[in-house]
Amino acid sequence: MASDNLTVLNALDTARTQWYHVTAVVIAGMGFFTDAYDLFCITTVSKLLGRLYYYDPATHAPGKLPHSVNNWVIGVALVGTLTGQLVFGWLGDKLGRKKVYGLTLILMVICALCSGLSFGYSRKVVIGTLCFFRFWLGFGIGGDYPLSATIMSEYANKRTRGAFIAAVFAMQGVGIIFAGLVSMIVSKVFLMNFGGKAFSTDEVFSTEPEADYVWRIVLMLGALPALLTYYWRMKMPETGRYTAIIEGNAKQAAIDMGKVLDIEIQAEGEKLAKFKAANEYSLLSNEFFMRHGHHLIGTMTTWFLLDIAFYSQNLTQKDIFPTMGLVSNAKNISALREMFETSRAMFVIALLGTFPGYWFTVFFIEKMGRFKIQLMGFFMMSVFMAIIGIKYDYLKTKEHKWTFAALYGLTFFFANFGPNSTTFVLPAELFPTRVRSTCHALSAASGKAGAMVSAFGVQEYTQDGNVHKIKKAMLFLAFTNMIGFCCTFLVTETKGRSLEEISGEDEKQNETQMKSNRTDSGLLNALDTARTQWYHVTAVIIAGMGFFTDAYDLFCITTISKLLGRLYYYDPTTHAPGKLPHVANNWVIGVALVGTLSGQLVFGWLGDKLGRKKVYGLTLILMVLCALCSGLSLGYSAKGVIGTLCFFRFWLGFGIGGDYPLSATIMSEYANKATRGAFIAAVFAMQGVGIIFAGLVSMIISKLFLMRYEGEPFNVDEILSTEPQADYVWRIVLMLGALPALLTYYWRMKMPETGRYTAIIEGNAKQAAINMGKVLDIEIQAESDKLAQFKAANEYSLLSNEFFQRHGLHLIGTMSTWFLLDIAFYSQNLTQKDIFPVMGLTSNANTISALREMFETSRAMFVIALFGTFPGYWFTVFFIEKIGRFRIQLMGFFMMSVFMAIIGVKYDYLKSKEHKWTFATLYGLTFFFANFGPNSTTFVLPAELFPTRVRSTCHALSAASGKAGAMISAFGIQQYTQDGNVHKIKTAMILLAVTNMAGFCCTFLVTETKGRSLEEITGEDGGQNETQMKTSKPVSGHQDDGWE
């Protein structure tokens, strides 16, 4: 794409990291240095101001700023910051970044100095003057937010842009460290010369008169670093993007950026005019809202919610240190000693928690991405704040002070190695040049609005130090962070893409390139860019039949197990309906899982060794034969029938297992890259169709037999309540599941081998071109030479070091997430038949006949499936190419964890009759977010993340891990909860919630695959990428030796 973009923009995007980037970071970061310095200092200074100006002898307590005054001193700067953000953000787009950039620094320097010169005849005048200058200091700092972020984003190369923007913001960390050092040094110097007595010894002279100089000196010294960078800020040219795209001066942009990059850049006036004309829409236009509206909502809400939590921690820091035992009681020390100890305590927390967090973001943002870091940060902040809130009484004791300090420091670490950094970075990248500064300003202003909620809300609520209120506030902040976690899904990952690609400003260029791509008839390109057509739909149906049978069997066996118990395990001495012994029940259900796991591994390996097509028909034959034979399980005893059933269920599972890697791999290699995820998900979503059909078939068959042969309720006639004809019902239901799979056998045999396997693995480019040409109805070039090179470059095996280095983490990620998901998912599925009576959706077994019990159980499960399970599959199909696999998986794991935790915690409450539908809703939502979540994405991702040579095997390993998790469910959790003990069920549900959160964390081992070709994802096109990179390097005239 480089050749189609403006040369000046491409030069900026591909420039090597050099000295001007570092100077730009320092120059742009001075506003944030001053911001953090002021925020740190005012927290300690407010202690001193209270001692100096608000001592009341009648109280016999050290002076303290009244809460209203304290909120004004702190909050007025926030109001100024918010105002400055909006004003300068708007001016940055209207007048240019450079023209107003110096003004913000002048305001900061002057007002920082004047803050220290706040004099007056009374304390009200001193505080009033201080507040006045702090407002304008905030005004200047606020202007620096959008301008510095925008300038840095428009200067940086696309490979390290996030790191540089984060580094600008990380100057806050430097400001905090310097503020701590300055506060400690100045207060220590005055202590050594003018140290007063402790307040308990002398109330008046414990506040040293010289302390009035200390806070002024500390505030004024904050202006020095900003002042030193003023000259270099004025020397910075306007950004090339603003000059070229907004002002339309291509020549000046080329000259300015040529000097900065030390290369010659072409002006490209004609191309620039078209570029500018295509992006004229304003912030308030419908086009902006359609393109960027949800991103703006996302950046504003996440920053707003983050700052409520972040500033509530920052602003109450000075009060929490005594609880931790890090500072002495104010009555036992002098005013300067109190300032010194408070500064030292804050410095320790900042040095070990706050400061590292900023720089962890800088170093990892281009590896992990903004999106993952923001999610991780919000989640970890929520966890630590919740722990502090719940265990506050325990933590505030003297013996646990360092545990408290560690939790408190970790909260700040994950705020800064998290949303406090990424909420600053993302608005500087997501929006077009014309409104970039304004959009960043709106996002930042939302953050400061959140900080005001903190200063004037949370501060006020906890001002009396009531322990109960502090606990509630911390839990509220934990909840606020979780909302921020959810709102993060409104933004998108920007890593590794140019600003124009992210914002859509190069859309016209992309359209041109897409048209040129269509003329390229190479095999892989033809597959990736093929329009969606009928063969895709037929491939979904053909490939999905295995999953139809899988879901059909899983649904049916749950209801059939009820009937088998009535038919074969009735004991007259118990005077209770027959029920499968737990061991037999686990065998009937679990043996299919063992078969599935075995089939996945065997057929997955064969799919790579022999080809997908050669073994694909065998899995379907196995499924059809064994589904039919399951219904023909006969014997002279209960053990004989169940044993025969288990035998055929093993081989049914073996066939179903083989269909997992083969169907997923075939669909991924057939689909185009624009809709590949949706098609793979649609194959898996045939499980949803299987569930619906299973419910209908079970209800229809049992209802037909009921109408003709319904027996007496069990409590009326124990023997005849189990209708003899019921023995036909379960057999018919199982056998009918084979019919849809049987109908697709012919078309499965007609499918050709995938083009990728034929070309890359078998090396037969000509045959691949012929096969796919017929499927796509176009002529495709064989490209034998190119594919031969392609094949030679990717000969490494699954057990090689090269595979482990390239794909090891992804394989661990797909295996662990599927394993953890299936522990939870199958624990819900396999215990479904026992939970419906609790919900009141089925009658007591003693009051109905065997067929009536099967009908009611089928109906209840059908309702849950129809409203919870089935929609989830198809939500994934429709949204996977919009939201992405990664986000859907994270969201699903999180929501499953929430609903399972609620069921576990409130089980006693929910199982009562009056709350049965609440229980049903929570239960249904769990299934909805399982399927509109990891149950679908764990199937999709292994079909995309691995190279062609081992794709089927890697999918098999991932799927087999899932079935191992399902076996833990069948033979572990089932066994643990078999006696129906309420405490055990609650414990199991909490365990499943924790399991889902572990799956959530393991999701970070995989990567987003949306919109990329399989070869691009797996690195199989490495040679092609290298060639493209080489052709793009001459634009900037340098080798790209920047750091990552």
DSSP string, 678-692: HHHHHHHTHHHHHHH
Regarding whether 595 and 709 lie in a shared domain, the answer is: yes
Q: Is residue 601 part of a domain?
A: yes
Domain termination site, one of 473, 507, 541: 507
Rounded to an integer, what distance in angstroms lies between the CA atom of residue 272 and that of residue 250? Answer: 7
Q: Using an 8 Å Cβ cutoff, are 288 and 435 in contact?
A: yes
Regarding whether 538 and 476 lie in a shared domain, the answer is: no
Regarding whether 586 and 502 lie in a shared domain, the answer is: no
- Torsion sign, CA atoms 348, 353, 357, 360: positive
Regarding whether 113 and 38 lie in a shared domain, the answer is: yes
pLDDT at site 515: 41
- Torsion sign, CA atoms 299, 304, 310, 314: positive
b/e string for 829-844 if b means 16 or more Cβ within 10 A?
A: bbbbbebbbbbbbbee
CB neighbours of residue 485 within 10 Å = 23
Q: Is residue 986 part of a domain?
A: yes
Runs of H (alpha helix) within 454-506: 459-461, 467-487, 499-503
Domain termination site, one of 507, 532, 552: 507
Regarding whether 590 and 481 lie in a shared domain, the answer is: no
Q: Please list, in sequence order, all residues whose beta carbon lies within 8 angstroms of the beta carbon of residue 832, skipping any fewer than 6 positions away.
A: 558, 861, 864
Q: Is residue 746 part of a domain?
A: yes
Amino acid at 524: L
Regarding whether 303 and 177 lie in a shared domain, the answer is: yes
Residue 908 DSSP one-character state: H
DSSP string of 261-303, one letter each residue: HTS-----HHHHHHHHHTT---TTSHHHHHHHHHHHHHHHHHH
Domain termination site, one of 480, 507, 534: 507
Regarding whether 621 and 476 lie in a shared domain, the answer is: no
pLDDT at site 1038: 34
Regarding whether 536 and 479 lie in a shared domain, the answer is: no
Rounded to an integer, what distance in angstroms lies between the CA atom of residue 531 and that of residue 671? Answer: 9
Closest CA to 36 of 179, 164, 152, 132: 179
How many structural domains are present in the chain?
A: 2
| DSSP3 helix / strand / coil % (the chain, rounded to 5) | 80, 0, 20
Q: What is the CATH number of the domain that holds 599?
A: 1.20.1250.20
Q: Please list, in sequence order, all residues whose beta carbon lies within 8 angstroms of the beta carbon of residue 503, skipping any fewer than 6 positions away.
A: 292, 430, 431, 432, 433, 436
Q: Is residue 821 part of a domain?
A: yes
Regarding whether 465 and 528 lie in a shared domain, the answer is: no
Name 781's bridge partners.
522
Domain coverage including residue 677: 523-1026
**Rounded to the nearest 10 degrees, how much is the dihedral formed by the CA atoms of 455, 459, 461, 462?**
170
pLDDT at site 1034: 37
Q: Which ranges of the chain have pLDDT less than 50?
A: 1-3, 8, 12, 315-316, 319, 508-521, 830-831, 833-834, 1023-1044
Q: Is residue 518 part of a domain?
A: no
Give the pair of three-digit tokens for residue 196: 């007063």
Closest CA to 477 of 397, 560, 415: 415
Q: Is residue 790 part of a domain?
A: yes
Regarding whether 585 and 502 lie in a shared domain, the answer is: no
Q: Is residue 98 part of a domain?
A: yes
Q: What predicted TM-score, i.e. pTM, was given to this entire model?
A: 0.67
b/e string for 816-826 if b means 16 or more Cβ within 10 A?
A: bbbbbbbbbbb
Regarding whether 549 and 671 lie in a shared domain, the answer is: yes
Phi and psi torsions of 1020, nearest 5°:
-70, -20
Rounded to an integer, what distance in angstroms lies between the CA atom of residue 752 and that of residue 769? Answer: 11
Q: Is residue 1041 part of a domain?
A: no
Regarding whether 575 and 471 lie in a shared domain, the answer is: no
Phi and psi torsions of 659, nearest 5°:
-70, -25
